[in-house]
Amino acid sequence: MQGIIFVTWEKYLADSFGNAFLTLYRETIGETVSTVPLTSRVYDDAQLLAGVSAASKLAHFPTDTLLRQYGRYFLINGLTSHLCNYLLRQVHSGRELLLMMRKAHAQMYRSPDGLTPPVFGFEFLPQSPNGLLVVYDSHRQLCPLLYGAIEGAAERFGEAAQIIESACMRQGAPQCRFEVNFTRTSAPLSLKQTSEQAAQARAKQQLADQVLSALPDSDGLTLQELQGVMQRWPVAPELVRPSQLLEALKHLQYAGLITSTANQAGDNLATRRYWRVPRIEM
């Protein structure tokens, strides 16, 4: 799993139960300063499952309740909004976001990091233009997490999601099947931005597109090499600062469009190389 899952999980625990609880949780799972999760790393699925079990016992909350609440939190918290900005700016409803998530997860399978995000199946509902039949068959069987994520996807866009789970793997079905209908209830989060914030977001989206065009399909470029390339392009000087380029690279990586050497032995920020992942058409 991507590091963003682990980082936002701990952020969820702190926001929901307090910093003292997070400290106790970290002590319980044996996490130290040197092993605090990083968004740039990839971690084994078993670590999250063990963490959820530990948090459930400490908080006296059912595991499925934690998973559902975290799924919703993941889709609406500020860190996800920031790191996944490249994807989020391309969609305008909960339904569109689920379809985009499916494409991004399928794209991540093409990275060399061994990522195996769940790829959801979808069937369109002829009787409901704002609905979807979501089909989930991951070996992880984290269907409560998906349920919460659907709720969070709706909330991002000022919608309510009516969800009917007609089949569940945990009850012996070959797949989990969710019939989802979205209804607009309020203004989406994006419309609550000021005009200045919206302009800044558009500029970052444009820069990410330019960075994607500048990266090669193999071997990769370091941050310094990428800066040298971008400085020869018609890009505002303030946008080719390392901090701006690094942010654009992160956004592209969370969209599954690029990869890096972040998880290779001996990697550091100065020598890390970035390149494009082959695009899929869905």
Q: How far, in Å, CA of 48 to CA of 116, rounded?
A: 14
Q: Per-residue confidence at 189, pLDDT binned at 50, 70, 90?
A: low
Contact 154, 184 (CB under 8 A): no
pLDDT of residue 256: 83
State what percent of residues in the chain have pLDDT above 70: 92
Encode pLDDT of 192-241 as tens digits.
567 787 788 788 889 999 999 999 998 899 999 999 999 999 888 888 99
The runs of H, that is alpha helices, within the chain are 3-17, 19-29, 45-59, 63-76, 78-83, 85-88, 94-108, 143-156, 195-214, 223-230, 242-254
Give pLDDT, residue 280.
66
Same domain, 100 and 166: yes
Do residue 100 and residue 156 come from a single domain?
yes
Q: Which of 61, 79, 109 is the last residue of a domain?
A: 61
Instruction: Note the pLDDT of residue 126.
Output: 78
Arithmetic mean of pLDDT over the chain = 88
185 shares a domain with 159: yes
For residue range 133-168, list pLDDT tens digits in order.
Answer: 999 988 888 999 999 999 999 999 999 999 999 999
- Are both 106 and 178 inside the same structural domain? yes
Asked whether residue 79 is assigned to any structural domain, the reply reads no
Element holding 178 (H helix, E strand): strand 176-184
Q: What is the mean pLDDT of residues 93-100?
A: 91
Judge whether 114 lies within some domain.
yes
